[in-house]
A and B are shown apart, each in its own frame.
Chain A
Amino acid sequence: MKVLVVDDEEDVQPLFLQRFRKEVRNGEIEFTFARSGEEALNYLEEKYSEVVLILSDINMPGMSGIELLSHIREVFDTPPPPVVMMITAYGDDENHRQAMEKGANDFLTKPLDFNLLKEKLKHITG
């Protein structure tokens, strides 16, 4: 399963790789990282069909996670649509409402509960 993680924080990358160490090693999950919404869209242009899940931060400079989400829903609407989960540090109702309105599949708050995320991933693959 190919997962695209969008976050402007660089250290998110080793964190995900280590948290999903076993899954990566077993070849269950393959991670790709983007540092901004723009970078994520560029990646999706090429590899859209491969990506099963997109995990995106909301609060990023430039294109925000919400904007990225609406782009994904507008541009990449050929089925099956990728699962999009939004992540934010604030976890407020307004962002949650907007994310859901724009078609997010789920909403996660920072600090990320990786065990919960693993559960959710099992759900998707299962």
Chain B
Amino acid sequence: MDFFCFLAAFLLLLRLRREIRFSQLSIKWGRMLLFGSFAIVGLYFFFHEFFDDDISNIVAGFLLVGLITYLRKEPDFKAFDILLFAHYPLAIVAIFNGFTELAFSKFYAENDDYFQIAQLVAFGWIFARLSTSKKQREEIKRVNERRSELEALVAERTVELTQQKNELQETIKELQATQAQLIQQEKLASLGELTAGIAHEIQNPLNFVNNFSEVSMELIDEMQEELTKGDTEEVLAIASDIKQNLEKIRHHGKRADGIVKGMLQHSRASSNVKEPTNINTIADEYFRLAYHGLRAKDKSFNAELIANLDAELPMANIVSQDVGRVLLNMFTNAFYAVHERKKTAGPEFKPVVEVSTRQVASAIEVRIKDNGTGIPDSIKDKIMQPFFTTKPAGEGTGLGLSLSYDIIVKAHKGTININSAEGQGTEFVITLPLK
């Protein structure tokens, strides 16, 4: 009966070889399986010729058990598991029969029909399982195909998503660059508003410098005349006038100097360094610059400027150019509002813009008050939003108050409050903590 075991092992290897013929596994296993099948034929002839049927059957049984155990451990043959497993009954029956024949040869001889039938049934079982195994393999193959389809789909989607993510990142970068540009533009726009004001503010002190130096030269001529005449009293009077004039020249020179420095500071990128600063100085400076800037653009514009600056105001630790920018923005808004109201109000309307500073507990309070158009309730919530503007297209960037909010509230931990009544005026109250 050893023949069936050897035959089963031989057929198994041939079948495996045939099944993997066209796959990657063929390269790895094809040759080994072929040699294996030859070896089994060799072993069969060897054991069949030189050993009794019982020994040969046991050997064949163990050979088969070893073979299928080895193959079942190989992941490459996972798909053939049912087929491999179907060989165990035959192997076990063969070993059982072999041992029974060896130990109880008489009993075996008497019942050899049953033993042989058992072995034949076990052999037949393999073929019965063959079709099931085929179905399973087909199922596995189908699942694998579906899986690779899905994997391809997932890979495709992943590529799409990655691409989209990259595009979005690119867009964010562009938006950030645009934002930075807009902020720079806002700074330049406010500088543009200042230019005419600055020209006026510089021209005035320069005129004084020129005039006082000219008049001083004349005075020196006069002084020389008086010296030759010997009128000492007059000479002394003239000398004191000249001294006073030189003092004025210095004063106006410094005034122009301060304005140029302020302008440079305004256009420079923010240093973000907080320094003790006199808020009165920047409030006064930007108040006048904003006024003259608007005056230069529109000759019909006029307003009364009131400055109530607390002389006792302590120094505040601030980034002066940033806070200056905020004040400039608020002044410009105030002047714009009174100018708008004047367009519709009668000639009896007197535009007034007032700035006041004072210390409140441990903070400095700056109030910018106008009697302009006021802010309608419907837009009060929106005015601090970026890009919100009521000015005609091209006149405002809509970033002024939004930047002001960032500077005062976020960078300086201060507050901005708005009191406004439509048609009556607006008051912005800025507080900056002294720390």
Using a CB–CB cutoff of 8 Å, the interface residues on chain A facing chain B are: 9, 11, 14-15, 18-19, 21, 59, 61-64, 67, 89-90, 92, 94-95, 98, 110-112, 114
Using a CB–CB cutoff of 8 Å, the interface residues on chain B facing chain A are: 200, 203-204, 206-208, 210-212, 214-215, 219, 222, 241, 244-245, 248, 251-252, 291-292, 295-296, 299, 302-305
Interface pair B302/A67, CB less than 8 Å apart: yes
Given A59-B200, A61-B304, does the pair A19, B211 have CB atoms closer than 8 Å?
A: yes
Please, which residues of chain A bring their CB within 8 A of the CB of B251?
A: 11
Q: Most chain-B Cβ atoms within 10 A of its Cβ — which of A15, A95, A114?
A: A15
Please, which residues of chain A bring their CB within 8 A of the CB of B203?
A: 89, 110
CA of A110 to CA of B206 in the docked complex: distance in angstroms? 10
Partner of B296, one of A64, A90, A114: A90
Please, which residues of chain B bring their CB within 8 A of the CB of A18?
A: 215, 219, 241, 245
Interface pair A89/B200, CB less than 8 Å apart: yes
Interface pair A14/B244, CB less than 8 Å apart: yes
The 12 listed contacts between A and B (C-beta, < 8 Å) are A11-B212, A14-B248, A18-B215, A59-B292, A61-B303, A62-B304, A63-B302, A95-B299, A110-B204, A111-B207, A111-B211, A112-B211
Residue of B nearest to A22 (CB): B222
Please, which residues of chain B bring their CB within 8 A of the CB of A90?
A: 200, 296
Partner of B204, one of A9, A14, A61, A63: A9
Interface pair B302/A64, CB less than 8 Å apart: yes
| Interface of chain A, main secondary structure | loop
CA of A19 to CA of B291 in the docked complex: distance in angstroms? 30
CB distance from A37 to the nearest CB of B (A): 10
Interface pair B252/A94, CB less than 8 Å apart: no
CA of A18 to CA of B299 in the docked complex: distance in angstroms? 32
Known contacts A15-B212, A62-B302; 8 further A-B pairs (Cβ under 8 A): A9-B208, A11-B208, A14-B248, A15-B211, A19-B215, A61-B305, A111-B211, A112-B211
Please, which residues of chain B bring their CB within 8 A of the CB of A11?
A: 208, 212, 248, 251-252
CB distance from A88 to the nearest CB of B (A): 10
Residue of B nearest to A18 (CB): B215
CA of A67 to CA of B303 in the docked complex: distance in angstroms? 12
CB distance from A56 to the nearest CB of B (A): 14
Interface pair A59/B208, CB less than 8 Å apart: no
Given A14-B244, A15-B215, does the pair A61, B291 have CB atoms closer than 8 Å?
A: yes
Please, which residues of chain B bring their CB within 8 A of the CB of A67?
A: 302
Q: Most chain-B Cβ atoms within 10 A of its Cβ — which of A18, A19, A67?
A: A18
Residue of B nearest to A90 (CB): B296
Given A11-B252, A61-B291, does the pair A94, B299 have CB atoms closer than 8 Å?
A: yes
Please, which residues of chain B bring their CB within 8 A of the CB of A89?
A: 200, 203-204, 207
CB distance from A113 to the nearest CB of B (A): 10
CA of A95 to CA of B5 in the docked complex: distance in angstroms? 122
Please, which residues of chain B bring their CB within 8 A of the CB of A14?
A: 244-245, 248
CA of A11 to CA of B215 in the docked complex: distance in angstroms? 13
CA of A11 to CA of B212 in the docked complex: distance in angstroms? 10
Please, which residues of chain B bring their CB within 8 A of the CB of A94?
A: 299
CB distance from A66 to the nearest CB of B (A): 8
**Which 4 pairs between the two chains have the least Cβ-Cβ distance?**
A111-B207, A62-B304, A61-B305, A18-B215
CA of A90 to CA of B305 in the docked complex: distance in angstroms? 20
Residue of A nearest to B296 (CB): A90
Residue of A nearest to B215 (CB): A18
Please, which residues of chain B bring their CB within 8 A of the CB of A114?
A: 211, 214
Please, which residues of chain A bring their CB within 8 A of the CB of B299?
A: 92, 94-95, 98
Residue of A nearest to B304 (CB): A62
Please, which residues of chain A bring their CB within 8 A of the CB of B219?
A: 18, 21
CA of A98 to CA of B299 in the docked complex: distance in angstroms? 10
Please, which residues of chain A bring their CB within 8 A of the CB of B210?
A: 111
Please, which residues of chain A bring their CB within 8 A of the CB of B206?
A: 111
CA of A18 to CA of B208 in the docked complex: distance in angstroms? 13
CB distance from A62 to the nearest CB of B (A): 4
CA of A64 to CA of B251 in the docked complex: distance in angstroms? 26
CA of A21 to CA of B241 in the docked complex: distance in angstroms? 11
CA of A52 to CA of B143 in the docked complex: distance in angstroms? 111
CB distance from A68 to the nearest CB of B (A): 11
Please, which residues of chain B bring their CB within 8 A of the CB of A98?
A: 299
